[in-house]
């Protein structure tokens, strides 16, 4: 153990910690010896497997069958520095969490190819994790990642019980991967150390095939996932109710009050928000990714709130409501809102098994184009508008996307399985048409400018149609007003 220079202020409140900068007192041999012992055995021997252990095993089996004879490496990712010695909150990679159920930083799932005597190819899966900190060598209290500082970790034996997988020490993994031979693929973008160890053995193209396969595995959700998505939506509904109850406080402060209110619900009931909440009041509603949330909230204007709670298992909701801040839509706001509602109804009606993925988008866009022509904002006929895509000046974005562990889920699935594919029971997608009139859009009458409306729900494709997971939130303008009145009391 290195002796360190005495700190300038040895009486300070800082706990003793071995650091390179020498700001902390040296550790005497007596103290080092003392810290080794006197600790209770806290091993948990009665842990039950996580509820989705069966599903994660099935997903690994699918992966194994797709890539026989190849070593597959799926990292959770590492902490990322925010500033100096503080880090961003860790969120495990979706691929790793999907295939293991674990969410530990630095974890790596490895599928090692095997061949049985009859030539049947398969894989042995191992979860590589940081084990509990050694007390013997002092790392548990002298190392920055020691459990005394960051909290108790699962022992490898505990992790085996939880995840139903053999577990091993991750600290030797990079070296072992660098020395190993045979074909290998890694999910890129999460763990630079692991990727560096494999750099001579992998190609971008082959690695991408692995990522695409896992993305496509996630297109159809199983019962566990649908239950988690419903939980995410239910918490999100409560978060929207929280926001309505504090709109007067938001008026007295800013959009940040709304962001903070929703965040409280997300952190108390879930893991986090699934994406940056869009708390867009007044003309900010026309900025699609308004996440600065630092503007005023004014009576007479609309609030577009697009937010979703992420569950502890990392499934997120993605819901939008556009609310009149004072509880009543103006005549023009209502006209635009009702048009978006009608488009959303048409979109939702097009969500059913066997329908092309593109159909719900086309159905919603048609309604919006009809309205824009009817209001004289664009010259008809509607067919011409749709053919040339002229409505897109005000509709701006696609009408929805797959939803799951990522808000824009399955993002690297191939076109033929996703945007040019066909809907199947178990898929979950958003239907979220909108109309946005920018504050500086000189092509629309002045009274339209600065109005943005989106309505977004989370829709499960069922055997005979669909189920709106977020239907606990009102959607028609009249129902929104009645709901707000009841919440505000
Ligand atoms: N909240 C992002 C989206 O609606 O797609
Ligand atoms: Mn969305
Ligand atoms: Mn959204």
Give residue-wise pLDDT tens across range 344-384: 999 999 999 999 999 999 999 999 999 999 999 999 999 99
- Please state the rounded mean pLDDT for residues 132-147: 92
Query: What is d(CA 340, CA 344) in angstroms, rounded to the nearest whole number?
Result: 6
Check if the beta carbon of residue 314 is closer than 8 Å to that of residue 406. Answer: no
Question: Which residue's C-alpha comes closest to atom 3 of ligand 1?
Answer: 318
- Please state the rounded mean pLDDT for residues 222-226: 98
> 275, 347, 396: which to mutate for ligand 1, most atoms within 8 A of CB?
275
- pLDDT of the residue at 22: 53
224 CB near ligand 1 (under 6 Å): no
For residue 389, pLDDT beyond 90: yes
| Ligand 2 midpoint to CA 432 (Å) | 6
| Ligand 2 midpoint to CA 484 (Å) | 23
458 CB near ligand 1 (under 6 Å): no
Mean pLDDT of the chain: 94
- Please state the rounded mean pLDDT for residues 143-147: 90
Average the pLDDT over each of 15-24, 312-321, 448-457 and give the range with the smallest value.
Answer: 15-24
Query: What is d(CA 407, CA 289) in angstroms, rounded to the nearest whole number?
Result: 14
- pLDDT of the residue at 351: 98
The residues near 278 (Cβ < 8 Å, ≥ 6 apart) are 288, 289, 290, 291, 293, 304, 305, 306, 307, 320
State the DSSP string of 383-445.
HHHHHHTTTHHHH-S-S--B-SSSSSTTTTS-GGGTTTSB--TT-EEEE--EEEE-TT-TTS-
Residues 167-196: tens digit of each pLDDT: 999 999 999 999 999 999 999 999 999 999
| Ligand 1 midpoint to CA 275 (Å) | 8
275 CB near ligand 1 (under 6 Å): yes
Report the share of the chain in percent with pLDDT over 90: 92
For residue 302, pLDDT beyond 80: yes
409 CB near ligand 1 (under 6 Å): no
- pLDDT of the residue at 20: 43
More confident site: 20 or 439:
439
Check if the beta carbon of residue 456 is closer than 8 Å to that of residue 431. Answer: yes
Handedness of CA 51, 55, 61, 67 (dihedral sign): negative
- pLDDT of the residue at 23: 60
- pLDDT of the residue at 380: 94
Q: Nearest-CA neighbor of 485 among 234, 247, 239, 237? A: 247
Beta partners for residue 109, in sequence order: 74, 127
364 CB near ligand 1 (under 6 Å): no
The count of other CB atoms within 10 Å of the CB of residue 318 is 29
- pLDDT of the residue at 3: 33
Check if the beta carbon of residue 258 is closer than 8 Å to that of residue 297. Answer: yes
70 CB near ligand 1 (under 6 Å): no
Which ligand ends up closest to the CA of 431?
2
- pLDDT of the residue at 117: 81
Residues 443-465: tens digit of each pLDDT: 999 999 999 999 999 999 999 99
Band of pLDDT at residue 24, cut at 50, 70 and 90: low
- Please state the rounded mean pLDDT for residues 229-244: 99
The separation between the first and the last C-alpha atoms of the chain, rounded to the nearest angstrom, is 65
407 CB near ligand 1 (under 6 Å): yes
For residue 252, pLDDT beyond 70: yes
Check if the beta carbon of residue 100 is closer than 8 Å to that of residue 159. Answer: no
- Please state the rounded mean pLDDT for residues 16-38: 75
| Burial class of residue 205 in the structure, from the number of CB atoms within 10 Å of its CB (0-12 exposed, 13-18 middle, 19+ buried) | exposed
Band of pLDDT at residue 5, cut at 50, 70 and 90: very low
288 CB near ligand 1 (under 6 Å): no
406 CB near ligand 1 (under 6 Å): no
- pLDDT of the residue at 19: 44
Element (H, E) at 262: helix 255-269
For residue 6, pLDDT beyond 50: no
> 273, 306, 316, 458: which to mutate for ligand 1, most atoms within 8 A of CB?
306
The residues near 70 (Cβ < 8 Å, ≥ 6 apart) are 113, 182, 183, 184, 185
């Amino acid at each position: 153990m290195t002796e360190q220079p005495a700190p300038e202020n040895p009486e300070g409140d800082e706990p003793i910690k071995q650091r390179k900068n020498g700001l902390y007192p040296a550790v005497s041999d007596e103290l080092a010896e003392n810290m080794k012992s006197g600790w209770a055995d806290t091993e948990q021997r009665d842990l039950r497997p996580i509820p989705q252990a069966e599903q994660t095993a099935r997903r690994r089996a699918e992966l194994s069958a797709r890539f026989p004879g190849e070593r597959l490496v799926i990292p959770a990712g590492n902490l990322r520095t925010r500033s100096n010695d503080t880090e961003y909150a860790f969120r495990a990679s979706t691929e790793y969490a999907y295939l293991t159920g674990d969410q530990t930083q630095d974890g790596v799932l490895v599928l090692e190819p095997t061949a049985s005597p009859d030539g049947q190819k398969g894989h042995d899966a191992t979860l590589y994790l940081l084990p509990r900190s050694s007390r013997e060598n002092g790392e548990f209290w002298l190392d920055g990642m020691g459990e005394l500082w960051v909290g108790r970790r699962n022992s490898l034996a505990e992790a085996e019980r939880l995840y139903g997988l053999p577990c091993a020490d991750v600290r030797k993994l990079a070296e072992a991967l660098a020395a190993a031979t045979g074909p290998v693929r890694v999910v890129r973008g999460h763990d630079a150390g692991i990727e560096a160890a494999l750099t001579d053995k992998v190609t971008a193209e082959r690695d991408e095939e692995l990522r695409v396969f896992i993305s496509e595995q996630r297109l159809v959700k199983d019962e566990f996932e649908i239950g988690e998505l419903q939980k995410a939506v239910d918490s999100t509904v409560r978060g929207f109710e929280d926001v309505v109850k504090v709109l007067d406080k938001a008026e007295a402060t800013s959009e940040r009050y709304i962001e903070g209110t929703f965040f409280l619900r997300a952190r108390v009931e879930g893991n986090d928000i699934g994406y940056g909440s869009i708390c867009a009041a007044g003309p900010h509603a026309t900025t699609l990714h308004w996440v600065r949330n630092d503007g005023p909230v004014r009576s007479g204007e609309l609030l577009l709130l697009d937010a979703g709670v992420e569950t502890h298992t990392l499934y997120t909701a993605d819901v939008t409501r556009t609310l009149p801040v004072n509880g009543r839509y103006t005549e023009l706001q209502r006209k635009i809102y009702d048009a978006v509602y009608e488009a959303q109804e048409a979109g939702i009606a097009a969500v059913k098994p066997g329908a092309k993925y593109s159909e719900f988008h086309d159905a919603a866009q048609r309604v919006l184009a009809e309205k824009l022509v009817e209001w004289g904002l664009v010259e008809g006929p509607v067919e011409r508008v749709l053919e040339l895509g002229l409505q897109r000046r005000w509709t701006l974005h696609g009408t929805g996307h797959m939803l799951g562990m990522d808000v824009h889920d399955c993002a690297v699935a191939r076109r033929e399985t996703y945007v040019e594919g066909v809907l199947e029971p178990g898929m979950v997608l958003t239907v979220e048409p909108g109309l946005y009139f920018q504050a500086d859009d000189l092509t629309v009458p002045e009274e339209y400018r600065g109005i943005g409306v989106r309505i977004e729900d989370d829709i499960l494709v069922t055997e005979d149609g669909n189920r709106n997971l977020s239907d606990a939130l009102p959607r028609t303008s009249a129902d929104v007003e009645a709901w707000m009145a009841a919440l505000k009391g």
